[in-house]
């Protein structure tokens, strides 16, 4: 049985950018959680936008943020399957590379980068279902309900994964004596 052909709809790219670009911070954070490497994260964000633009004609006006995050997650998984590696298992933790905020003490920036690298490394070794749930909710900022839609699972499952993932992450960091002074 032949597959139905996809309806090709010509989309004004300006409408797409107006609707999708405001979510770039969320996508960037999700991509950072899924790849851990800045360069790979930025590539993932760009690929997500290109795929979303290609499919924007078929987007039925649902929640744009969840839709974009779903594409981002699927793109990351495709890349992951191609490379035969787990999401996040790309590079060793990196230091530096972020755009320094104007007026910030370079020492503070460096410390923050070390903290980010440490947390990212701990996140990268968590089982995938915990890592993805934490990435969507705690890093991407999605609600548990939005994450449930993206992952196609009940909201309670998301809450459980987030809770267990946080505890594992905290325990992992503290077992290595990397507990942050608050």
Residue ranges binding another protein (CB under 8 A): 10, 13, 16-17, 21, 24-25, 27-29, 32-33, 42, 45-46, 49-50, 53-54, 98-99, 112, 115-116, 119-120, 122-123, 134, 138-139, 141, 144, 156, 159-160, 162-163, 165-171, 173-174, 179-180, 182
Residue 33 CB, nearest approach to another protein (Å): 7
Residue 158 CB, nearest approach to another protein (Å): 9
Residue 84 CB, nearest approach to another protein (Å): 25
Q: What are phi and psi of 76, to 5 degrees?
A: -60, -40
Residue 81 CB, nearest approach to another protein (Å): 23
Return the H-helix or E-strand segment holding 70: helix 64-83
Sequence-distant (≥ 6) Cβ neighbours of residue 39 within 8 angstroms: none
When the beta carbons of 14 and 82 are compared against another protein, the nearer one is 14
CA pair distance 161, 147, nearest whole angstrom: 11
When the beta carbons of 81 and 95 are compared against another protein, the nearer one is 95
When the beta carbons of 81 and 86 are compared against another protein, the nearer one is 86
Residue 83 CB, nearest approach to another protein (Å): 22
When the beta carbons of 89 and 115 are compared against another protein, the nearer one is 115
Sequence-distant (≥ 6) Cβ neighbours of residue 33 within 8 angstroms: 88, 120, 123, 131, 134, 135, 136, 139, 140
CA pair distance 56, 85, nearest whole angstrom: 29
Decide if 97 contacts 38 (C-beta within 8 A).
Answer: yes
When the beta carbons of 2 and 182 are compared against another protein, the nearer one is 182
CA pair distance 76, 34, nearest whole angstrom: 7
């Amino acid at each position: 049985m032949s597959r139905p052909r996809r309806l090709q709809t010509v989309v004004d790219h300006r409408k797409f950018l107006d609707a999708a670009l405001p979510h770039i911070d969320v996508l960037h954070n999700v991509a950072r959680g899924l790849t851990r490497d800045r360069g790979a994260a930025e590539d993932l964000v760009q690929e997500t936008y290109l795929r979303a633009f290609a499919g924007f004609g078929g987007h039925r006006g649902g929640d744009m943020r969840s839709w974009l995050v779903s594409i981002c997650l699927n793109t990351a998984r495709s890349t992951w399957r191609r490379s035969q590696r787990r999401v996040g298992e790309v590079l060793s933790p990196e230091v530096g590379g972020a755009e320094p905020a104007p007026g910030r003490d370079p020492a503070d920036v460096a410390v923050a980068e070390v903290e980010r690298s440490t947390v990212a490394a701990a996140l990268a070794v968590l089982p995938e279902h915990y890592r993805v749930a934490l990435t969507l909710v705690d890093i991407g900022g999605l609600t548990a309900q939005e994450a449930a839609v993206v992952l196609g699972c009940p909201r309670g499952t998301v809450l459980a994964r987030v809770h267990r993932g946080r505890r594992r992450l905290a325990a992992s960091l503290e077992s290595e004596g990397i507990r942050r002074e608050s």
